[in-house]
Amino acid sequence: MNKFLKVSAIAAALFAVTACNEKKVEAPAPKPALELKTQEQKAAYAIGVSVASYINKSIDQQSELGLVTDKALIISGFTDGIDDKAQLTDEQVKESLMAFDKKINELRSAKAEADAAKAKEAGIAYLAENAKKEGVTITESGLQYEVMTAGEGDKPTAADNVTVHYKGTLTDGSPFDSSYDRGEPSTFPLGGVIAGWTEGVQLMSPGAKFKFTIPSELAYGERASGSIPAHSTLVFEVELIAMAKAAAATAEK
């Protein structure tokens, strides 16, 4: 990849200076029309837009952690850096970035711990309430399921491949994954997913649709996964479309 398109490397250097409060910036004068006719002009402008997009995303993420970053200083740092007029030495830039990175990591760790504690408490309460609902069955492992639509035929084993449509949410209803949104079902070995799925889908026949409420210990446990905090109880609606028995799958290879 061209070195000028390595956005993360460029953008990282823009965070050398941060401020605790936003500065008031006067309304800028109207910008002159840009010449974006040649491929070189468009490429140069695109690099700037790409860097800005990366920075804005990073600032939004930092804001969620309680950090306020002064955009005016970022612009000044970028301009000074481009013009070789930086007011910090290379060593000072490095020290500032390392200190900032350490602060970000500390805030992220604190947020992750708080989110995990909240998810654990919410999961316990949700499981207790869900268990009282009519039609909910609880297995020995603690998996809860409801039969939304019954299927017909054999049930898969953990060694089989299954094709499913599904959507997954946290207990507050926040979605984190959906094959429906992607517009196509997913196929995978049933033994290669979280324990709650491996157990639950083995209760289904093709054509069935179940709702699973999966305790965290049958999901990701103490690990966070993407937008899923650690200790999260997960709720899935799963539709088993097809399965390939282990013997048949082996014979086809």
Q: Annotated active-site positions, please?
A: 166, 176-177, 194, 220, 236
Strands (E), 68-174: 137-138, 144-149, 161-170
| E strands in 39-173 | 137-138, 144-149, 161-170
SS3 of residue 137 by DSSP:
strand
Ranges assigned E (strand) in the chain: 137-138, 144-149, 161-170, 175-178, 186-189, 209-214, 234-244
As a three-state string, the secondary structure of 163-186 is EEEEEEEECCCCEEEEHHHHCCCE
Tokens (6 digits) for 119: 């998810």
CB–CB of 243/161 below 8 Å?
Answer: yes
List 167's β-bridge partners, or say none: 178, 237
Distances (CA, A) of 59 to 4, 52, 93, 223: 22, 10, 18, 26
